[in-house]
Amino acid sequence: MNIASVGSALPPHFYDQETLLAALRANWTQRHHNVDRLEALHRNVLVGGRHLALPIEEYDNLKTWGDSNDAWTRVAQDVGETAILRALEKAGLGVDDVDALIFVTVTGVATPSIDARLMNRLHLPPRVKRMPIFGLGCVAGAAGIARAADYVRAYPDQVAVLLSVELCSLTLQRQDLSIPNLIASGLFGDGAAAAVVVGAERRADGPQVIDSRSIFYPDSEEVMGWDISESGFKIVLSAGVPEVVKHYLGRDVDAFLDDHGLSRSDIRSWVSHPGGPKVLTAMEEALELPDGALDVTWNSLRSVGNLSSTSVLMVLEDTMSDHRPEPGSLGLMLAMGPGFCSELVLLRW
């Protein structure tokens, strides 16, 4: 199984962090919030700017969760369509070549799901097997690659497309002054990415998926996720995430690699989800990575923020296009998310 290509799409509305901070400051100052604290939290996440689903002035018109979700449904189709078409073009394929469409998100809900709506917009073949997946959060980019590889392992002559759409700005709770929500308001951005995964009977020059592993950590539901109420999605983000990374990730990566007769020193490229500065630093420490091993991930965080499940796919796209490892070398794709859980994908370039 090979990842033939990755294509991404970002909404056209980009704002630097100072502009976003000014808008949030205007909103929260009216409620006598500690603005200095807000600014410190935003600067600490090291994000330079983010793309938003809507022009910034339109967010004041979102009065209910229904308003936000309607916007999510509309924009998700726009960026999702673009990401899929770009990925297929890079792979030298057309919509008629698609056999399976996996859709992952954690920032909105729709029935029919976005993948169903894109069946019509893209004129995908009616035979396409659709697999919408909700709730995996940041881990879903890596997990989606693994599930797409599982599919083409069973059907080696077929093509699976993974689509991730995350419009995090539409989940912002403007009445929530908790520290997790203030951090989220400075960290998360919007975007979409699609990956084309093909079976062994099809030719592709992208990385081969050798194996994958899912790891679930029992009784960790409160580490990360959403509290869902009539106001929408309220962020759950424990300050203990970096400690979970330090405690478990090195052990789990070592066990996974050992099953293949490998060790960390055999891995030449690391394709990681950019959880945030503290999480990335914890990953570097837990895995004892050499300087620069996560540069592509750090650059993604600085340029567009954390895009939940979309981010690791964009890091993969950048790695494939601009930082391609030596042919035959090994790589590891990894992400962590609600559950709490990890997903590891072993690659050969």
Q: Which residues are catalytic?
A: 138
DSSP tag of 113: -
3-state secondary structure of 5: strand
Residues 6+ apart with CB under 8 A from 277: 44, 45, 46, 301
Strand order in the sheet with 208-216: 129-134, 100-105, 159-167, 190-198, 2-9, 208-216, 341-348, 330-337, 267-272
Query: Checking DSSP bridges between strand 330-337 and strand 341-348, what pairing results, if any?
Result: antiparallel
CA distances (Å), origin 161, targets 10, 133, 155, 239: 18, 13, 13, 34
CA-based torsion, 104, 106, 112, 114: positive or negative: negative
Asked if 225 and 338 count as a contact pair (C-beta separation under 8 A), the reply is: yes
Asked if 295 and 150 count as a contact pair (C-beta separation under 8 A), the reply is: no
3-state secondary structure of 294: coil
